[in-house]
C-alpha cells in the first residue's frame, strides 16, 4: 500500500513524509501510544507520559516524560526524538509550540468521531512505514463499525447521561469523541446543546429527566460501585458503570471499544 501526501497530513494541516531511517518517537497521548505498539513500533518508542500505560509489558522500560498536561521538556530534549505525537485535546498548545523549537517532526492528532481513526491509521502507518499493519487495523475498525450499525438498526435510540467527574458533577457534550462513540450504538448523550465540551450537571435541570439511564465512567474520575446509589438517588434513573477507556480511547482501542459498547447496548436492552 502506498500513501499520497494528503493522507500524511495531520490535524493542523502539516504534511509529513515517510521516514527514511529508524525513528525515535515520543508519544504524549495515551491511546496513541497503544496504537504505536499495535503498529509494531514499540522498539522506536523512546518516551511516553505517565498516563501511557497500555500495553503494560511493552512500555515498562520506556522512559516517562511527565503527564499529558505537565510535560517535562528537558526530559524530551535529552531523548532526542525525531517525532513527537501530540493531541489537540490532550496537550497544551504552549507545550507543543516549545517542542517545535527542537523536535524535527510534531504530529498533531485530533480524532472527533470513530471513523476518524481510519485517517489516523493511514497517517501513522504511512509516516512510519507500517502500511500493512495500518490496513489490518482499518479492516478491524470497519468490521466494528458494521457491528455497531447492526445494533442501532435493531434498537431504538436511548438518551443517556455520561458522568466523567464528581465534585463537581461533569458530563460530555455532544461534540466530543466520547459522545460520538456512544452515538455509534444508539446512545444519545445529554445535554444535546452545551456551550462547553464538558459541562457541569445541575441535577434540577429539566434535561436531566430526559435521560433513560446514567453511566459512570471509570476515567478520568474513578467511579465505582460505591457511587451508584448516590447517583441513582440524584437522578432517579438506572445507573451503570462503563469502561472509560473503551468509550474515550481512539486509535486501535476504538475497535475493541465499539465492540464493547455494542455488547453493552445489547445487554442493557434485555
The structural domain count of the chain equals 2
Instruction: Indicate if 260 and 156 belong to the same structural domain.
Output: yes
Q: Please, are residues 59 and 53 in contact by the beta-carbon 8 Å criterion?
A: yes
Whole domain around residue 114: which residue ranges? Answer: 5-129
* pLDDT, tens only, 180-235: 999 999 999 999 888 899 999 999 999 999 999 999 999 999 999 999 999 999 99
3-state SS of 35-46?
A: HHHHCCCHHHEE
Instruction: Indicate if 23 and 109 belong to the same structural domain.
Output: yes
- What is the pTM for the complete model shown? 0.95
* Residue 115 to residues 28, 136, 219, 258, Cα–Cα distance (Å): 22, 15, 22, 11
Instruction: Indicate if 120 and 209 belong to the same structural domain.
Output: no
* pLDDT, tens only, 117-145: 999 999 999 999 999 999 999 999 999 99
Domain CATH number, residue 12: 3.40.50.1980
Instruction: Indicate if 111 and 10 belong to the same structural domain.
Output: yes
Nearest alpha carbon to residue 91 among 119, 117, 72: 72
Amino acid at each position: 500500500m502506498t500513501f499520497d501526501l494528503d493522507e500524511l497530513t495531520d490535524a493542523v494541516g502539516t504534511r509529513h513524509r515517510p521516514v527514511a531511517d529508524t525513528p525515535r518517537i515520543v508519544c504524549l497521548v495515551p491511546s496513541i501510544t497503544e496504537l504505536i505498539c499495535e503498529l509494531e513500533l514499540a522498539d522506536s518508542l523512546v518516551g511516553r507520559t505517565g498516563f501511557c500505560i497500555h500495553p503494560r509489558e511493552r512500555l515498562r522500560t520506556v522512559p516517562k516524560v511527565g503527564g499529558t498536561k505537565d510535560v517535562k521538556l528537558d526530559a524530551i530534549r535529552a531523548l532526542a526524538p525525531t517525532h513527537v505525537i501530540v493531541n489537540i485535546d490532550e496537550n497544551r498548545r504552549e507545550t507543543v509550540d516549545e517542542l517545535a523549537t527542537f523536535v524535527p517532526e510534531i504530529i498533531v492528532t485530533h480524532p472527533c468521531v470513530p471513523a476518524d481513526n481510519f485517517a489516523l491509521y493511514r497517517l501513522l502507518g504511512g509516516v512510519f512505514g507500517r502500511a500493512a499493519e495500518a490496513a489490518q487495523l482499518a479492516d478491524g475498525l470497519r468490521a466494528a463499525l458494521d457491528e455497531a450499525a447492526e445494533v442501532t438498526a435493531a434498537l431504538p435510540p436511548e438518551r443517556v447521561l455520561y458522568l466523567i467527574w464528581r465534585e463537581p458533577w461533569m458530563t460530555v457534550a455532544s461534540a466530543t469523541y466520547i459522545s460520538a462513540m456512544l452515538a455509534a450504538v444508539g446512545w444519545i448523550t445529554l445535554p444535546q446543546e452545551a456551550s462547553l465540551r464538558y459541562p457541569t450537571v445541575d441535577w434540577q435541570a429539566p434535561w436531566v429527566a430526559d435521560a433513560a439511564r446514567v453511566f459512570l465512567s471509570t476515567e478520568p474520575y474513578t467511579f465505582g460501585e460505591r457511587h451508584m446509589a448516590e447517583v441513582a438517588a440524584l437522578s432517579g434513573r438506572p445507573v451503570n458503570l462503563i469502561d472509560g477507556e473503551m468509550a474515550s480511547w481512539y486509535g486501535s482501542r476504538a475497535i475493541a471499544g465499539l465492540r464493547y459498547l455494542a455488547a453493552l447496548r445489547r445487554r442493557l436492552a434485555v
